[in-house]
Structures are given as C-alpha cells and as structure tokens.
Amino acid sequence: MLDINRIRNNREEVEKALLKKNFKIDFTELLDFDAQRRSKIFEVEQMKAKRNTVSGEIPKLKKQGTDVTDLLNEMKKISLSIAELEKEITSIEAQIKDIMDYIPNTPADDVVAGDATQNQPVRYHGRKPEFDFTIKDHVALCEALGIIDYKRGAKLSGSGHWMYRGDGALLEWALLNYFITEHIKDGYEFILPPHILNYECGYTAGQFPKFGDDVFKLTENDQFLLPTAETALINLHRNEVLREEELPKKYFAYTPCYRKEAGSYRAEERGMIRGHQFNKVEMFQYTVPEKSEEALMELVAKAEALMNGLGLHFRLSKLAAADCSFAMGKTYDVEVWIPSMGIYKEVSSASNAYDFQAIRGGMRFKRTATGKNEYLHTLNASGLATSRVFPAIIEQNQHKDGSVTVPEVLRKWVGKDKLTV
C-alpha cells in the first residue's frame, strides 16, 4: 500500500509515477476523504481534551458544594458526539482503504514506462546451444525418456498437471537439493511454511483483494493454497517491530506453488512451461530502506549464480513498469532459453517492493539512532522455479539419439551423467 502522506504531499508526482504502470487515477476523491478524516479526528481530539479537563474539575466543584448537574449532562453530550464522530471516522477510513487497496506500487525512478515490449535485456550468460540435427521439444524428449508422465498427471488431476517418475523425479529432486544447498551456504535461513494461508497473508503480499480469483481458495475460514512461498515469507514479521541490528533478515523456502493460471494456454506453453502446480525455492529479505537496492542486486546475483552453475544459456532483463507486478517497484527477470520455442522464459523474478508490503502488513523496525519506528523494505526472488529450468536442461542438453546430459552439479543426486532412452 502506498503511504497516504506521500500522496497528500506529492500528488502529481505519484500520479505521474503510476502512469508508467499504465495506471491512471485522480486522487481528488481519496484526498477529500482524507481531509474529512483528519478534520473529524481533530474535532474528536478537541472534545476529548475538553472532557478530560472538565472531568478533572468536577470532583473539586463537588467538594465546594457546587451543583455539577449541567456539567455532567454536557459531558454526556460530548461523549455521545465523540462516539458518533468515531463511527464516521471508521466509515471514512473504510472508504479510504477501499481505494488504497487497489492502487499498485509506484515504479522506481530508473524503471522505464510501458509494458513487456519495453523490457530491457541487461546481460546474457553462456553460449546459445547450436544443433546439427532437428531438435525435439521437452515434451517429446521427456515422454521418450519416460521421466515425465503427462497423461497420468492429467488423469490424476486434470490439464495443466504432470507427474515426475524415475530419473525425472530424481532430476527434479536434484534441482531442489542444489538450490537449497547453495542458499544454506550463503547464510539464508531455511523455512518450510504452511501451504494453506489466511486472507491476511494474501493481503499483505498485495495479492488480495485485487487478485483473489487467481488462487485456489478453500471453502472454509477464508483460506487459500499459496501461489508462491513469497506469500508466506512476507508475513513472517507481519505486525511486528524489529530491531535495526536484526536486519537484514534473509530467508528461503521450498514449496510447491498452486495457481489457477486462468485463461487459454498457448500451444507453445504445453508441457511444463505453464501449469497449476510446480516446485519453487523462494528467497526473501527484510532490510532497512537504504540497503534495499544492494539487497536486490544480491538476490539477482544469487539467481544468476544458480543458473550459471547449471551451465545453461540465459539472460537477465530489467522489466518495464507495467510488467512489474502490482506490489513491486522494480523487477529483474532471469530468463532461460527454450530452444524449441526460440524464446527466453522467466525462471526467477527478483523484485523490490520497497515499503509497499510493509505498510500493508504493519512491519516496522526501530531506528537505533533516533528511537523512531520506520517501515521495512521487503524483497523477493525465485531461487529458482523448476518448471522451466527442467525443460531448459532437457532441451539445451539434448543429443541426436534422444539422450540428455545431466548438469555436473546435479549428478551426485541423479546418480548418472546422462539420461538415456
């Protein structure tokens, strides 16, 4: 959530920044509500001050034998007026929240305006694989190798699901073990969170209320299946005040991710490229504002290092404002090359939410020098999602005979150098 003080003091600047995300808004109504709220709060404070003063005088007047009936009646009227004004304030605050909940984060100054067509490749890693034979896509290769069972995945759950088996299950588990091992080496704390979360988790993350239909909801208690571990990790310190010396907090979590992925699937997105359930390791940081850009580049570097360790060809792109998600102010995507598709597909998004999620979740830290509470900055990055790394390994490392070379870093878990038909 944006800080309403920022909107009040820098209205034109915020409106202009939101236009970079193709989000147009006139803050007139919001600021009218804000003015009404502040005016009524001032009235309440004045009335309470008068009530406190008079209430303190009444016992003295009684001792002096003065009739205080009129004063008592006046205090009752003031109390009733305060209660009525507080109801009005609560109603106005609900109207303000209804507007604020749907306003996205503003992009950072160095993020360009526009949609995905304006994304900027930053650098490329590894050499794009070249083949002297007609390549196969990962679906055909995985079926021939017997490592992914799409038919039984659909049989068990429906379209958009698959089943790992044999060497495929070993390769998937190897990827997760590789990611987890590297994050532990880097000093991140390993978290295994619940997969069933409450509404407050989705709200703090910025997914609710606007994107509530994108998740699998449970029928009771306003709960849902987590779409990403970020939704859990952002809530670890919800409504808490941390000490500055505790920061940064660095976490990572492994979970399956459950997503509706509403809309039609493009033909090239068959197989594992887009599905309703996939495995992902997520990195997360809580930090002080002045260190959040440094933290973002650390997360980017970690995601790139994982990909380089796998020996895959990929690139890093900086997203344009409208391609950044609702809650994020800046995002870098790590995108792997999928030979059969001839395009790069995202395997990690490293993002800085700045104070947007912290405001929604009431997350602050106490500044040592001033003793004052300030909002934290929160950052996340996939480290990594397997559902596109797996196909990239299969396709980039394929051979004419249908075999696939296993990346060296994964061999101790897979138990072989090559997957063969």
Strand order in the sheet with 249-258: 120-125, 314-318, 330-338, 343-354, 377-385, 277-287, 249-258, 189-191
pLDDT tens digits for range 146-160: 999 999 999 999 999
Are 305 and 182 in contact, with CB atoms under 8 Å apart?
Answer: yes
CA angle 153, 208, 375 (to 5 degrees): 125
Number of H helices, E strands in the chain: 13, 17
Helix (H, G, I), strand (E, B) or coil at 336: strand
Looking at residue 128, the DSSP 8-state letter turns out to be P
Do 156 and 276 fall into the same domain?
A: yes
Mean pLDDT of 119-129: 98
Do 90 and 121 fall into the same domain?
A: no
CATH code where residue 84 lies? 1.10.287.40
Do 71 and 156 fall into the same domain?
A: no
User: Is the pLDDT confidence value at 302 over 90?
Assistant: yes
Please give the tally of structural domains in the chain: 2
Last residue of a domain, one of 72, 100, 128: 100
pLDDT at 295: 98
pLDDT tens digits for range 25-73: 999 999 999 999 999 999 999 999 999 999 999 999 998 999 999 999 9
Closest CA to 319 of 167, 108, 89: 108
User: Is the pLDDT confidence value at 229 over 90?
Assistant: yes
Mean pLDDT of 200-207: 97
Mean pLDDT of 135-140: 97
Q: Is residue 269 very low, low, confident or very high in pLDDT (cuts 50, 70, 90)?
A: low
Please report where in the chains the tokens 């196969």 appear, as a residue.
136
Does residue 146 fall inside a structural domain?
A: yes
SS (H, E, C) 53-84: HHHHHHHHHHHCCCCCHHHHHHHHHHHHHHHH
User: Is the pLDDT confidence value at 265 over 60?
Assistant: no
Please state whether beta strands 249-258 and 343-354 pair in parallel, antiparallel, or not at all (unpaired).
Answer: unpaired
How many C-beta atoms surround the C-beta of residue 117 within 10 A?
Answer: 8
Q: What is the dihedral of CA 180, 182, 186, 187, to 10 degrees?
A: 30
Does residue 15 fall inside a structural domain?
A: no
Do 129 and 252 fall into the same domain?
A: yes
pLDDT at 227: 97
* Assigned token pair, 271: 């197989």
Q: Is residue 264 very low, low, confident or very high in pLDDT (cuts 50, 70, 90)?
A: very low
Q: Please say whether the dihedral angle defined by the alpha carbons of residues 137, 163, 255 and 209, taken in this order, is positive or negative.
A: positive
Q: Is residue 220 very low, low, confident or very high in pLDDT (cuts 50, 70, 90)?
A: confident
Do 169 and 240 fall into the same domain?
A: yes
Domain with 93 in it: 26-100
pLDDT tens digits for range 166-203: 999 999 999 999 999 999 999 999 999 999 999 999 99
pLDDT at 271: 83
Looking at residue 115, the DSSP 8-state letter turns out to be S
Q: What is the dihedral of CA 189, 195, 196, 200, to 10 degrees?
A: 40
Do 300 and 232 fall into the same domain?
A: yes
The residue among 189 and 264 whose pLDDT is bigger is: 189
Whole-model pTM: value is 0.93
Does residue 12 fall inside a structural domain?
A: no
In order, the DSSP letters of 311-327 are T--EEEEEPPGGGS-TT
The residue among 377 and 263 whose pLDDT is bigger is: 377
Do 210 and 358 fall into the same domain?
A: yes
Does residue 321 fall inside a structural domain?
A: yes
Does residue 319 fall inside a structural domain?
A: yes
CATH code where residue 262 lies? 3.30.930.10
Do 63 and 127 fall into the same domain?
A: no
Do 88 and 190 fall into the same domain?
A: no
* Beta-bridge partner residues of 217: 224
The H-or-E segment that residue 184 falls in is: helix 167-185
Does residue 379 fall inside a structural domain?
A: yes
Please report where in the chains the tokens 């997350």 appear, as a residue.
363
Least confident stretch, 64-73, 179-188, 297-306, 392-401: 64-73
Q: How far apart are CA 157 and CA 261, in angstroms?
A: 15
The residue among 285 and 68 whose pLDDT is bigger is: 285
Mean pLDDT of the chain: 96
* Assigned token pair, 76: 């009752």
Last residue of a domain, one of 100, 127, 149: 100
Are 37 and 89 in contact, with CB atoms under 8 Å apart?
Answer: yes
Report the percentage of the chain scoring pLDDT > 90.
Answer: 93
Please state whether beta strands 418-419 and 189-191 pair in parallel, antiparallel, or not at all (unpaired).
Answer: unpaired
Name residue 188's amino acid: Y
pLDDT at 262: 57
Does residue 106 fall inside a structural domain?
A: no
Q: How far apart are CA 384 and CA 391, in angstroms?
A: 13
Please report where in the chains the tokens 């083949």 appear, as a residue.
131
Does residue 60 fall inside a structural domain?
A: yes
In order, the DSSP letters of 200-246 are HHHHHHT-TTTTGGGS-B-SSTT-EE-SSTHHHHTTTTTT-EEEGGG
Do 146 and 274 fall into the same domain?
A: yes
Do 184 and 52 fall into the same domain?
A: no
pLDDT at 266: 53
Q: How far apart are CA 62 and CA 57, in angstroms?
A: 9
Mean pLDDT of 74-99: 97
User: Is the pLDDT confidence value at 218 over 90?
Assistant: yes
Do 88 and 152 fall into the same domain?
A: no
